[in-house]
Amino acid sequence: MSLRTPPRVLTVAGSDSGGGAGIQADLKTMLALGVHGMSVIAAVTAQNSLGVQGYWELPPEAVRAQLDSVLGDIGAQAIKTGMLASPVLVETVATALAAYPAPVVVDPVGVSKHGDPLLAPEAVDTVKTLLLPVATVVTPNLWEVEQLTGVRVESESDLRRAADAVLELGPRWALIKGGHLPGEPVDLLTDGDREHLFRAERLDNRHTHGTGCTLASAIASHLALGDDVPGAVGKAKDYVTGAIGLGFPLGDGIGPVDHAWKWR
């Protein structure tokens, strides 16, 4: 690679036609943080500020071909997964990533910001048994924690119990996102031994579409840039907090975070 070639990060996720989440948010985040973003599209959504009107999975052979094409020629210093939709797509992606020597950030996408399902119920077990064991970091929100482990988080004191339950499924690190708890938002990162709490002020902004995708992509970007997991998560949190603070209205519903906030 040329000395001018930036670190490369691959996102494997769904396309968001509204541009606020999914592949589009991932690539914007990667550009903002100085890495070269690449994409494997697993599903296409019809989506806007009001919700997800529909989604269509790509055939597994198309997803596998994209993975083989990018990783076989260009390579990646980090990989991020998002919406994978179905058991066969989860299995296809997990099998490919298990054989590739780069850190993997798994955002176990279950529903959209509007509450629309993005993962078939029968795919949850495949995520647990095949995808999470290949994850360097998994970044569930509280609903996804309950979907994956049955643990319900109702206060900050429940975060470690939730993280331990997630770690039992095989990832090296669990980042439990506590933004939906009352009070000051706090996220817990742990590998079972080390524990880090990340706090941020509660921002008065409802335009938060794409926060989960953006955070996971930012973590992957900083891992590709050479940070360790706690360092990457800390920098990613700072970036996402700034992006939420400058989230803007779009359409008639929930607008996106501002991925370009550092430039504006």
Task: Please indicate whether residue 212 is annotated as part of the active site.
Answer: yes
Task: Please indicate whether residue 213 is annotated as part of the active site.
Answer: yes
Instruction: Judge whether 233 and 198 are in contact, CB under 8 Å.
Output: yes
Q: Kindly name the residue from 211, 214, 237, 247 that is annotated as catalytic.
A: 211
Q: Kindly name the residue from 82, 178, 210, 247 that is annotated as catalytic.
A: 210
Closest alpha carbon to 250 in 29, 33, 24: 24
Task: Please indicate whether residue 177 is annotated as part of the active site.
Answer: yes
Compute the distance between CA of residue 202 and CA of residue 185 in angstroms, rounded to an integer: 6
Task: Please indicate whether residue 231 is annotated as part of the active site.
Answer: no
- Match 């541009």 to its residue by tokens: 19
Instruction: Judge whether 77 and 102 are in contact, CB under 8 Å.
Output: yes
Q: Kindly name the residue from 11, 81, 208, 241 that is annotated as catalytic.
A: 208
Kindly report the length of the chain: 264
Identify any residues that bridge with 176 across adjacent strands, giving them in sequence order: 188
Q: Kindly name the residue from 11, 22, 126, 213 that is annotated as catalytic.
A: 213
Task: Please indicate whether residue 95 is annotated as part of the active site.
Answer: no
Q: Kindly name the residue from 177, 214, 241, 255 that is annotated as catalytic.
A: 177
Biggest alpha carbon distance in the chain? 50
Task: Please indicate whether residue 211 is annotated as part of the active site.
Answer: yes
Compute the distance between CA of residue 183 and CA of residue 135 in angstroms, rounded to an integer: 30
Chain centroid to CA 13: 9
Residues with catalytic function:
177, 208, 210-213
